[in-house]
Amino acid sequence: MTAASVTTRASASRRWFRLPRPRIAGSSGVLPSLLGIPVVLWQAVFFAAPLIFLVVVTFWQVKSFRLEPAFVVDNWTRILFSATFQRALVHTFLVAGTTTVLAVAIAFPAAYTIAFRLGARARDLAVAFLVVPVFSSYMLRIYAWQIVLSPEGITNALLGGIGIGPLPLLGGAFSLQVGLLTLTLPIAVLILVFAMAGIDRTLIEAAENLGCRRARVIAHVIIPSLRPAIALTATTSFLLAFGDYISPLFMTGSKPPTLSILIVDTVKSGSQWPRASVIGVSMLVMLALVLSLGQYLSRGRTGRKEAAR
Amino acid sequence: MKTPFIALDQLDKRYADHHAVKSVDLDIEAGEFIALMGPSGCGKSTTLRLIAGLDEPTGGEIRIGGDSMRGVPAFQRNTPMVWQSLALFPFLTVAENVAFPLRMQKVGTAERRRRALEWLDRLGLAGMAERNVAQLSGGQRQRVAIARALVTEPSVLLLDEPLSALDAHLRVRMQTELSRLHRELGITFVYVTHAQSEAFALADRIVIMSEGSIQQVGRPQDVYRAPANAFVAEFMGMNNLVRGEVRGERDGLLDIAGALGEFRVPSATPRPEGSSGDFVIAADRIALAADGEGLAGTVLGLEFVGSTQTVFVEIEGGAEFRVQKQQHEIEALDLVPGRKVRLSWNPQHAWLLPQPAQAH
Amino acid sequence: MNRSLATRLSRLAQYGFLGLLFAFIATPMLVIVVFSFDANRFPTIPWGGFSLEWHRAILDDPMIRDAFLNSIKVGFGTAVLSTALGFAAAYIDFRYRFRLKLPFVLLVAVPPAVPATILGMAMLAFLSRIGLFGRLETVMACHVAIATSFSMAIIRLRLNDLSRDLEPAAWNLGASPAAALVHVVLPFCKPALIASFFLSAAVSFDEFLIAWFVGGVHETLPVRILNLLQGQVNPKINAIGAVVLVVSIALVLIAQRFTGVRAGRRPSPDPGE
């Protein structure tokens, strides 16, 4: 009964947005063009064109420090077969993968507590608190972790007080993950909180009334209905960690380099624009693949069958 | 011949997935109160939106005051509408809502405020001008919506199920109010509703629609007593439809035989033997008796409708009849579920449905 | 074991975990603010005593002052433009149906998802070729390309609550589509427009990679900080950091105040219904 009413409500609201927009008699295309053209132009010049140009540049050449139009695949072969690139690629994948797993594993229980254990007011406060770091001062927060974790920093000063250390906290995989989780956790928790708040509580209560223990409710009711949200959390975390420049730079001193670090270094050293572009384009291709994998996984088994039909 | 104020000429509206309005012809006289009725999805609201220009017809034409509305955008038609959702602007005060159409006509600030207040006064909303619409009761919001639609003094008012959100008590009061406004203003009201009581209380003529087509147009009593077809008969509710076939004619009445037995029904025009003899008999025209002549049936249950009760009777042979009776008659016959009864009526009260069109 | 005790312990563990997470998120912000008032050159424990020395020092630094001014200009321009473009995009998505709608929406929505390193490099490569490198206006234009995505999202969300009948009602009452846009849709979206303004300002105020790539000699404040961080330890950083942190948190909080987005409930739609 509950499940049925949930689906009708969902489909009703979906139908709402598919309703043919009322076309009024005699309306012309002037207004939409007036609104749309500036947007399209702006995004074309400052977003799409640069990215397309990036792909074009991968086939160009640098002669005596000047970028010249050409059509060579040399940049591609040099970068894709270079050991530096391949090492950085594997390293970046491992780092971003680790961040993704950690972010989802930490964010899920936290989001669960916020969505189902906090009162309405506390929940709003928690959401407000989490939104702030998504849009503010990431670089500064990484710098703050440097202060906290550095050999003479706060943590080691505290540990020294009780006779431990100094521990080499900064400059390794640990500090890198601290940095990347600083970047990813707030948004990961937010996505999951919003998704969980969207689950009909009566569904959960119904399951509990049917004698489901809390753990089973989570496994059989909450996780399946959160599948798309979990996939979104994972792909978002991966995307952020994969492309990040600041954490590798400040938390590990760029050693070993990630792909982002490699891009900036390649541009800086000898204006190797085409090669930096190759790295950039390869990263975008890989991100696109990861995103489509996430899409595929989020649909679940039934969704995939439907899509196949 | 008088030219109608609003003329729908072969009006047609197709959407990608359904045919909402099918070749509708309708003339609406100036000053008339006309109600479009029908079940949901019958095309009545779409017709109204087409008149207002909120949707573009895919065929046919609309003329208002003799002018074709083809290519005239909604905002140049001056066909204000009272919406089912009211569609009041939540970010404007009551007075600003009412003054909105005048603002769009570039009427000066002082003048539009004066006229808005005048209309608020006229609808009993004096003193509410500065309120937020969210602070008003349902009935008050309804009046604001009506004032807003009338402030430009249009020659037609469109109403799309305006009273459906109100409770029964308020609904009756608003009906009286609308009736009064129509009388005072003398303009054309086109009123969409699915509620028979509203249409009967208000309209000069009603238009019954089904699946995008007009089934019947006429005065409410005429449509009720003389439905044009089985759909209208059933839509009007208090009619019992009896299916049968013409067997012959004698003494000016047709002999009709069907699954329920043999009946005699008057007919204005002769009808050949073997043709359709479907007829209706209104629920308030049926007499009930404990025994004697007539259809034999069993009382299924009773339902209050105002001061009368509707008795549901299962006829031997399967049909279900509705009979309307006063409370004292029910008591006299001791009608309780399970009681055997006989149904009879004066043959002159039966209404033979016109023969279905041979088209299609 | 007692069932209710187990429940209570599990609740305690959940709240404790959430507390740790919040501490993890709050710590760096607190560290910046607290140590900006520290008299020590290098921030560590023990605290060197309260001092406004470094706050005063940044006021005397012309490069920081310029950078701050640049950030304000870029942030303000971004806020205005991306709110305007975001509104246009959101309204088009809300009102019209056309074949290229998905590409249109993606063109606006996707930019923040592209890593800033790659986007910054691409913008630098392309814009320097068409002669736009090294201008403050270019930094702003690029920030607009990113921030419009957030503006569109916020305003689109608000438009979801616009009663389906409200705009047709305005047309019906004599408003042309353009007049209805100005007199009905814009006022309805006002809270979202304010939120979008402040959030876009925050996005711009916080962005450093693209500003670093395309700004040339015109440094915004985060770029100044980035350059300072890559140099020697500089105690001014904490002071600027505290200022930047306070400004950007304020911008985000103001934006949030006007979005009305809450977990679990949507703000009530048209009260006229």
pLDDT one-digit tens code per residue, B9-58 = 999 999 988 899 999 999 999 999 999 999 988 999 999 999 999 999 99
Judge contact between B100 and B113, C-beta under 8 A.
Answer: no
Give SS3 for B292. Answer: coil
| Confidence band of C21 (pLDDT split at 50, 70, 90) | very high
pLDDT at site A5:
39
pLDDT at site A270:
64
Across C31-35, C37-41, C93-97, C233-237, least confident range: C37-41
What does the DSSP 8-state code read for residue B2?
P
Query: Which tokens go with A38?
Result: 């500036």
Same domain, B217 and B303: no
How many other C-beta atoms can be found within 10 angstroms of the C-beta atom of residue B28? 23
pLDDT at site A220:
79
Res. A303: pLDDT tops 80: no
Judge contact between A14 and C66, C-beta under 8 A.
Answer: no
User: d(Cα A249, Cα A254) in Å, to the nearest integer?
Assistant: 5
pLDDT at site A272:
86
Q: What is the CATH number of the domain that holds B252?
A: 2.40.50
* Segment B285-305 mean pLDDT: 86
Residues of C in contact with B149 (CB under 8 A): 173
| Domain-embedded: residue B336 | yes
Give SS3 for C208. Answer: coil
CB contact under 8 A, B148 and C179: no
Res. B185: pLDDT tops 90: yes
Same domain, B214 and B243: no
What does the DSSP 8-state code read for residue A254?
T
**Which one has a higher pLDDT value, B355 or B286?**
B286
Percent of all residues in chain B with a pLDDT value above 90, rounded to a whole number: 54
pLDDT digits (tens, 9 = 90+) for B213-251: 999 999 998 998 889 988 998 888 778 888 888 988 888
* Segment A273-299 mean pLDDT: 92
User: d(Cα A249, Cα B250) in Å, to the nearest integer?
Assistant: 106
3-state secondary structure C40-88: CCCCCCCCCCECCHHHHHHHCCHHHHHHHHHHHHHHHHHHHHHHHHHHH
* Segment B312-340 mean pLDDT: 86
Q: Write the residue in C91, C95, C126 that is nearest to A49 by C-beta.
A: C126
Number of helical (H) and strand (E) elements in chain B, helices listed first: 9, 21
The mean pLDDT value of chain C amounts to 88
Dihedral angle computed from the Cα positions of residues A264, C122, C90 and B56, in that order, rounded to the nearest 10 degrees: -160
Give SS3 for B243. Answer: coil
Judge contact between A239 and C113, C-beta under 8 A.
Answer: yes
| Domain-embedded: residue B1 | no
Separation in Å, CA of B66 to nearest CA in chain C: 20
Percent of all residues in chain A with a pLDDT value above 90, rounded to a whole number: 48
Sign of CA dihedral C165, C166, C167, C172: positive
| Domain-embedded: residue B259 | yes
pLDDT at site C88:
97
Separation in Å, CA of B150 to nearest CA in chain A: 21
Same domain, B175 and B135: yes
Q: What is the DSSP string of A186-218?
A: HHHHHHHHHHHHHS-HHHHHHHHHTT--HHHHI
How many other C-beta atoms can be found within 10 angstroms of the C-beta atom of residue A175? 23
What is the set of domains in chain C, with CATH numbers? 54-259 (1.10.3720.10)
Q: Which residues contact C235 (CB under 8 A, 6 or more apart)?
A: C38, C40, C41, C42, C43, C54, C57
Place of tokens 């989802």: A104
Query: Which tokens go with C69?
Result: 């001014």
Which CA distances in Å does A174 have to A121, A138, A149?
Answer: 35, 18, 10
CB contact under 8 A, A23 and B69: no
Residues of C in contact with A264 (CB under 8 A): 117, 121
Percent of all residues in chain B with a pLDDT value above 70, rounded to a whole number: 98
pLDDT at site A28:
62
Q: What is the CATH number of the domain that holds B316?
A: 2.40.50.100
Single-letter residue type at B22: K
Same domain, B158 and B273: no
* Segment A65-79 mean pLDDT: 88
CB contact under 8 A, A21 and C97: yes
pLDDT digits (tens, 9 = 90+) for A206-223: 777 777 777 777 777 788
CB contact under 8 A, B73 and A20: no
Identify the residue among A14, A19, A139 best suited for mutation to test binding to C, counting C beta carbons within 10 A and taking the highest.
A139
pLDDT digits (tens, 9 = 90+) for A118-133: 888 899 899 999 999 9
Flag whether residue C243 sits within 8 Å of chain A, measured between CB atoms.
no
Dihedral angle computed from the Cα positions of residues B69, B73, B78 and B80, in that order, rounded to the nearest 10 degrees: 110
* Segment A162-177 mean pLDDT: 83
Query: Which tokens go with B310?
Result: 């509707």
Judge contact between B27 and B198, C-beta under 8 A.
Answer: no
ipTM here? 0.89
CB contact under 8 A, B72 and A22: no
Q: What are phi and psi of B103, to 5 degrees?
A: -60, -40
Same domain, B340 and B357: no
Q: In this structure, are strands B340-344 and B19-28 parallel, antiparallel, or unpaired?
A: unpaired
The closest of B74, B86, B64, B94 to B160, measured between CA atoms, is: B86
Q: Show which subunits contact B, needing at least 3 CB pairs below 8 angstroms.
A: A, C
The H-or-E segment that residue A237 falls in is helix A227-243
Single-letter residue type at A32: P
Same domain, B266 and B338: no
pLDDT at site B181:
95
| Confidence band of A1 (pLDDT split at 50, 70, 90) | very low
Query: Which tokens go with B203?
Result: 């309209």
Per domain, the residue ranges of chain A are: 92-257
Res. A160: pLDDT tops 50: yes
CA angle B192, B197, B201 (to 5 degrees): 85
Res. C273: pLDDT tops 50: no
Judge contact between B37 and B209, C-beta under 8 A.
Answer: yes
Domain that holds residue B330: 287-344
How many other C-beta atoms can be found within 10 angstroms of the C-beta atom of residue A13? 10
Longest Cα separation, chain C: 74
Residues of A in contact with B71 (CB under 8 A): 25-26
Judge contact between A50 and C119, C-beta under 8 A.
Answer: yes
pLDDT digits (tens, 9 = 90+) for A93-111: 999 999 999 999 999 999 9
Same domain, B332 and B214: no
Res. C230: pLDDT tops 90: no
User: d(Cα B337, Cα A32) in Å, to the nearest integer?
Assistant: 65
pLDDT at site A269:
78
pLDDT at site A141:
92
Task: For residue B46, give the chain A residue with the closest CA.
Answer: A22
Same domain, B151 and B186: yes
Query: Is-above-0.90 flag for pTM?
Result: no
CB contact under 8 A, B54 and A24: yes
CB contact under 8 A, C248 and A135: yes
Give SS3 for B194. Answer: coil
Judge contact between B88 and B133, C-beta under 8 A.
Answer: yes
| Confidence band of A182 (pLDDT split at 50, 70, 90) | very high
Q: Which residues of B127-136 are buried (b: 16+ CB within 10 A; e: fewer)?
A: ebbeeebeeb
pLDDT digits (tens, 9 = 90+) for B98-155: 999 999 999 999 999 999 999 999 999 989 999 999 999 989 999 999 999 999 999 9
Res. A167: pLDDT tops 80: no
User: d(Cα B228, Cα B241) in Å, to the nearest integer?
Assistant: 12
Separation in Å, CA of C159 to nearest CA in chain B: 14
Single-letter residue type at C116: A
Q: Which residues of C119-144 are buried (b: 16+ CB within 10 A; e: fewer)?
A: bbbbbbbbbbeeebbeebebbbbbbb
To the nearest 5 percent, what fractions of chain C are helix, strand and coil?
A: 75, 0, 25
Res. C268: pLDDT tops 50: no
pLDDT at site A283:
96
Q: Write the residue in B55, B75, B76 that is nearest to A22 by C-beta.
A: B55
Separation in Å, CA of A180 to nearest CA in chain C: 12
Superfamily of domain A92-257: MetI-like (1.10.3720.10)
User: d(Cα A257, Cα C232) in Å, to the nearest integer?
Assistant: 21
* Segment B305-315 mean pLDDT: 84
Same domain, B301 and B223: no
CB contact under 8 A, A25 and B56: yes
Separation in Å, CA of B73 to nearest CA in chain A: 5
Place of tokens 């007036």: A34
Judge contact between B177 and B188, C-beta under 8 A.
Answer: no
Query: Which tokens go with A180?
Result: 């990347």
**Which one has a higher pLDDT value, B306 or A228?**
A228
Task: For residue A142, give the chain C residue with the closest CA.
Answer: C28
Single-letter residue type at A113: T
| Confidence band of A9 (pLDDT split at 50, 70, 90) | very low
Judge contact between B214 and B21, C-beta under 8 A.
Answer: no
User: d(Cα C122, Cα C116) in Å, to the nearest integer?
Assistant: 10
What does the DSSP 8-state code read for residue B283?
G
Q: Write the residue in B54, B84, B133 that is nearest to C271 by C-beta.
A: B133
Judge contact between A141 and C28, C-beta under 8 A.
Answer: yes
**Which one has a higher pLDDT value, A63 or B36?**
B36
Place of tokens 């140590």: C35
pLDDT digits (tens, 9 = 90+) for C160-194: 999 989 999 999 999 999 999 999 999 999 999 99
Across B39-48, B242-251, C243-252, C253-262, least confident range: C253-262
Q: How many domains are contained in chain B?
A: 3
What does the DSSP 8-state code read for residue B25?
E
Dihedral angle computed from the Cα positions of residues A44, A47, A51 and A57, in that order, rounded to the nearest 10 degrees: 80
CB contact under 8 A, A25 and B75: no
Q: How far is CA B65 from the centre of its chain?
A: 24
Q: Identify whether C46 is preceded by a cis peptide bond (ω within 30 of 0).
A: yes
Identify the residue among A41, A131, A140 best suited for mutation to test binding to C, counting C beta carbons within 10 A and taking the highest.
A140
Q: In this structure, are strands B351-352 and B279-282 parallel, antiparallel, or unpaired?
A: antiparallel
pLDDT at site C42:
67
User: d(Cα B314, Cα B129) in Å, to the nearest integer?
Assistant: 57
Same domain, B226 and B189: yes
Q: In this structure, are strands B188-193 and B156-160 parallel, antiparallel, or unpaired?
A: parallel
Judge contact between B125 and B140, C-beta under 8 A.
Answer: yes
Residues of A in contact with C262 (CB under 8 A): 120, 123-124, 127
